[in-house]
Amino acid sequence: MDDIIITGSSDEFISDIISGLAKEFAMKDLGPLHFFLGIEVHYFKGGIHLSQGKYVAELLKKTNMALAKPVGRPLAQKHGLQLATGNTADAPLYMSVVGSLQYLCLTRPDISHAVNLAVKRILRYVRGTSNYGLRLLARSPLTLYGFSDADWGGCAITRKSTTGYSIYLSANCISWASRKQHTVSRSSAEAEYRALASIATEMTWIIYILNDIGVYLKSAPTLFCDNISALYMRVNPVLHARTKHVEMDYHFVREKVARGQLVTHFVRTKDQLADIHTKALTKQEFTRFRSKLGVCIPPPHKLEGKCCEIEDSCMDMKSSIYEIT
C-alpha cells in the first residue's frame, strides 16, 4: 500500500484527479494532509508549517536523550570536533542516529552544517526546539534567489573548504546544502567561486522543475555572495589566466551571467544568510539566521499579515547589495 499527496491550486482539478485514479486503483481519500512520512503539516492563514516533532521525540527516546539539558545552538564556535579521534562505543547506533538526523534536515535546515560533526549536542539542541519546523507561505512575489558562501580551508585536517547555500522561492527556503568541497582551494575567492557554481547548478535544476509544472519566472534568478573577487571572476575574462587551475566545469557560471540567465550581487557578510551552513556562529547570529530560513514554531492558525522575516530582511538589505559589472 502506498500513500500519495495530491496538491494544486484548484479544488475542482484535484477532485478530477482523484476520481480518475479511483477508477484505476482501489484508493481511499484521507482528507487534508496532516502527517506524511514522519513529517507533520500544520495549517495557518497564508501557508503551512512542516515539522517532525514526533520523529524527534522518538529519536530522543531511542538515544536516551529525552531528559537531556537543551542547548541554544547545535554547534559551539570553538568545537574542535574535526581533530577529535577515537572509536564510538556503539558504532551501529551512532550511524543510525546520524542517518536519522540527516532525515530531520528535511524540515530543519538549521542543523545541516552541524549534523556531520556533532551528534550528542545536536540531540540536546533539537530537544529544546522539537516543535520547530519549516514555514512555507502561500502568497508572496514569485522570485528565485539564493545566498552562497564558503568557509575557506575550514577543515583542519584536509584544508578543504565547505560550501553552503540557501535558495528561496519567494519568501520560502526550498533548497539548502552544507558540504565539503572535493578539492583544496588556493584562495578564498576560488572557494567562493566553487560555491557559486554549486548553487548555480541547483538553481538551474529548480528552474527546470518549475518549467515542467508550468511555472515560469519573470526575471532571472539572483545570487548573493559576500566575496567581491569571486564575483569579478565570473565577469572579467582578464582573470581567466589566473584561474586556469579551476576546473572548467565551474566556469559555466560566467556563461549563464553573460546570457542573462543569472544575476549576481554582492551582500555584506553580516547579511550572508548562508553562513549558517558553513561555520559555527554565535548564539545571537545563529538565532537570527535560523529565523531567516523560516525555521520556527508553528504560527497561530489565525495569523494576520506577514509572518516571514525573510521578506523584511531582504528589504533591509537593499542598502548593502551591489551589482558587480
Q: Where does a domain end: 103, 128, 153?
A: 128
| 40 and 119 inside one domain | yes
Quickly count: other Cβ atoms within 10 Å of residue 172's Cβ: 18
Tell whether 101 is covered by a domain.
yes
Q: What is the DSSP string of 142-168?
A: --EEEEEEEETT--TTT---EEEEEEE
Cα–Cα distance measured from residue 1 to residue 268, given in angstroms and rounded to the nearest whole number? 51
- Quick: pLDDT tens for 180-195: 888 888 788 888 888 8
**CA-CA distance, 1 to 234, in Å (whole number)?**
50
* Amino acid identity for residue 101 in this structure: L
267 contacts 226 by C-beta, under 8 angstroms: yes
Q: Which residues span the domain enclosing 192?
A: 141-323
**CATH (domain of 242):** 3.30.420.10
| Chain segment 28-60, per-residue pLDDT in tens | 888 888 888 889 999 988 889 999 999 999 999
pLDDT at 319: 39
pTM of the model: 0.78
Please give the Cα distance from 269 to 149 (Å, whole number).
9
Burial of 323 (0-12, 13-18, 19+ CB in 10 A): exposed
Residue found under cell 576546473: 247
Residue where a domain stops, chosen among 128, 152, 180: 128
Are 112 and 149 within one domain? no
- pLDDT band of residue 317 (cuts 50, 70, 90) is very low
pLDDT at 134: 93
Q: Which among 101, 128, 155 is the end of a domain?
A: 128
What's the domain count of the chain? Answer: 2
- Tens digit of pLDDT for each residue in 67-90? 989 988 888 876 666 555 555 556
pLDDT, residue 80, reads 63
Q: Are residue 45 and residue 75 in the same domain, yes or no?
A: yes
Q: Tell me the average pLDDT across 136-150.
A: 88
Q: Give the residue, 278 or 139, on which the prediction is more confident.
A: 278
Asked if 217 and 68 sit in the same domain, the reply is no
Percent of the chain with pLDDT over 90: 30
Between 308 and 118, the higher pLDDT residue: 118
Average pLDDT over residues 263-289: 89
